[in-house]
A and B are shown apart, each in its own frame.
Chain A
């Protein structure tokens, strides 16, 4: 996948984390997946339509998800994945994809976003694109996150 489609998402994860006071993001490996098997227990997913069509998924362990939700809710204790914590994680995904969509608009690309869905469980198979999925490993102070881009370009 061309870097011009990947970089807006990496930039927006860094930008949103910084604006929410969640610390810095370090980018690790970027690799291609035939099928996206969830390494982590929790995934937030959001669709994109317009000049760019596809799905974007943020996948993370429960521990990271709880820490992010807690930080977004002003330090409130998050001991389980409940409606309030997944709403916070959904909002995080919304903000990241919304900011990426703004960056795409500067390249004259339309990217409209759909509402997020949060999925959690064990040994899940997730297919976010029937073309290919590009995965980006990200490290944050709150734990590991995998950004998955399934864009049909």
Chain B
């Protein structure tokens, strides 16, 4: 089963519903092993029949702009990080619900999001084969790394 299409659908639906903004897929490629973060990243782990994770990465400024759509007067780094954590949660929740509905069983489950921010950090997920979906938005680029074991 190609899970990536479910994630693509969920990215578009979730982003446009949450922020009322367009998100356009610019590129789809095999993800690199090491990910050098743009500044703000969120990981949601996936367990069940297939183990994996969704990782989203963007500049902190992009996260701040997105959070200001939700509460315009709020300009707070933690709120921006919680906003993109919620985006990651909703995208992964939407995709896994679609996958579970298609398979007619509760095949995949999610862990809560973990959030990372900083000016200079790298991430690596051993044993995962990942696809990188690079999106353009009005506020900057957003990368979605979707990886599963053994795919």
Residues on A with C-beta less than 8 A from B117 are 124-125
Residues on B with C-beta less than 8 A from A125 are 81, 115-118
**Residues in B1-58 with C-beta less than 8 Å from chain A:** 33-34, 37, 43-48, 51-53, 55
Is the Cβ of A118 less than 8 Å from the Cβ of B51?
no
A30 to chain B, nearest CB (A): 20
Q: Does A130 make an interface contact (CB < 8 A)?
A: yes
- How many residues belonging to A are interface residues under a CB distance threshold of 8 Å? 37
A125 to chain B, nearest CB (A): 5
Q: Looking at the complex, which one of A86, A123, A128, A150 makes contact with B118 (CB distance below 8 Å)?
A: A123
**Interface range, B side:** 35 or more
Q: Is the interface of A mostly helix, strand, loop or mixed?
A: strand
Is the Cβ of A47 less than 8 Å from the Cβ of B45?
yes
Is the Cβ of A46 less than 8 Å from the Cβ of B115?
no
B133 to chain A, nearest CB (A): 18
**Residues in B97-133 with C-beta less than 8 Å from chain A:** 109-112, 114-128
Is the Cβ of B121 less than 8 Å from the Cβ of A55?
no
Residues on A with C-beta less than 8 A from B136 are none
Q: Does A137 make an interface contact (CB < 8 A)?
A: no
A51 and B146 CA atoms in complex are apart in Å by 25
Residues on A with C-beta less than 8 A from B43 are 45, 47, 117
Q: Does A132 make an interface contact (CB < 8 A)?
A: no
**Residues in A42-100 with C-beta less than 8 Å from chain B:** 45-50, 53-55, 57, 83, 86-87, 90-91
Which residues does B use to contact A, with CB under 8 Å?
33-34, 37, 43-48, 51-53, 55, 78, 81-82, 85, 109-112, 114-128, 147, 149
